[in-house]
Amino acid sequence: MHNVGYVGYAAQRSARIALSALSALVAFFSMAAFAADAPQSAAGAPLERAPDTMQARVMGCAACHGAHGEGTDNDYFPRLSGKPAGYLYNQLLAFRDGRRKYPPMNYLLAYLPDAYLKQIADYFAAERPPFPPPAPVTADAKTLDLGKTLVTKGDASRKIPACVTCHGASMTGMEPAIPGLLGLHADYLSAQLGAWRYGTRTTFAPDCMRQISQLLSERDITAIAAYLASLPAPANPSPVAAGSLKMPLACGSVQH
């Protein structure tokens, strides 16, 4: 089922799951906001405002991404912890400003200011919960071999660069704005490549990931996602330092 139709199915299923979580979160925050705005309780005693702590701010993230950004066992919600703060900040801005389409995230972030989003990005970037072991591999050996080739070598005949040239030999990403690709489910990875391919995930021009994803076949996407999802985390999963990798393409998301 890992094809273009499946990418659409995955996105729809993900949206249904997240909308259920969103409904509960909206109800919770609506009640909290009502209580905070009310000057007195029914008995006349002043009501105490909820503290504005980072733990309180990320409650809306924890339902899908885990309290520390470690991810969950749901295939369609990614791990956030340890990714470069610049990358996380760019994604929050993209959801808020509509460059990345996903209704629950678009709704949650619609009115949040830049500084608020930057603090959330910094919080998750600094978190370092352990990586779980990779999920059991379901792809066949031929698919994994193709994925490994595309990730580590690319395909020069089709002008497809290797994933490692930007994301690093250990796939841990590079500061300040290139994400690691470890600890992610194959379905999530496949859905994101499909989103770039069909324009529901975009960034500032030049949009290098859209350029690359449009060169990939459905089989390529399945193979890359399966191989990346099979990789264990290295001893040091931190992103490499800025400038450590020579990128083969200009990427607008890195320049902002």
How does pLDDT run across 117-157, given as a tens digit for each residue? 999 999 999 999 999 999 999 999 999 999 999 999 999 99
pLDDT in tens, 36-76: 454 555 556 667 776 788 988 899 899 999 999 999 989 99
Q: Report the mean per-residue pLDDT for the chain.
A: 87
**What pLDDT is recorded for position 55?**
87
Name the residue among 119, 115, 134, 13 with its Cα closest to residue 71. Answer: 134
Residue matched to tokens 């005949």: 157
**What pLDDT is recorded for position 24?**
41
**What pLDDT is recorded for position 225?**
98
pLDDT in tens, 183-208: 999 999 999 999 999 999 999 999 99
208 labeled binding residue: no
Q: Which two tokens stand for residue 145?
A: 């071999």
pLDDT band at 35 (very low <50, low <70, confident <90, very high): very low
**What pLDDT is recorded for position 133?**
95
163 labeled binding residue: yes
251 labeled binding residue: no
Maximum CA extent, the chain: 75
Name residues whose C-beta falls within 8 Å of residue 36's C-beta, 6 or more positions apart in sequence: 47, 49, 50
Please give the average per-residue pLDDT across 95-114, as a whole number: 95
Q: What is the pTM of this model?
A: 0.83
Residues pairing with 53 in the sheet: none
Domains of the chain listed by start with CATH number: 4-126 (1.10.760.10), 141-255 (1.10.760.10)
b/e for 71-80, b at 16 or more Cβ within 10 A?
beebbbbbbb
166 labeled binding residue: yes
**What pLDDT is recorded for position 41?**
52
Name residues whose C-beta falls within 8 Å of residue 44's C-beta, 6 or more positions apart in sequence: none
Please give the average per-residue pLDDT across 229-254, as a whole number: 96
Of 222 and 20, more confident? 222
Question: Does 77 score more than 70 pLDDT?
Answer: yes
Q: ∠ CA(61), CA(66), CA(69), 5° rounding?
A: 80
Question: For residues 134 and 233, what is the distance between their CA atoms, to the nearest angstrom?
Answer: 9
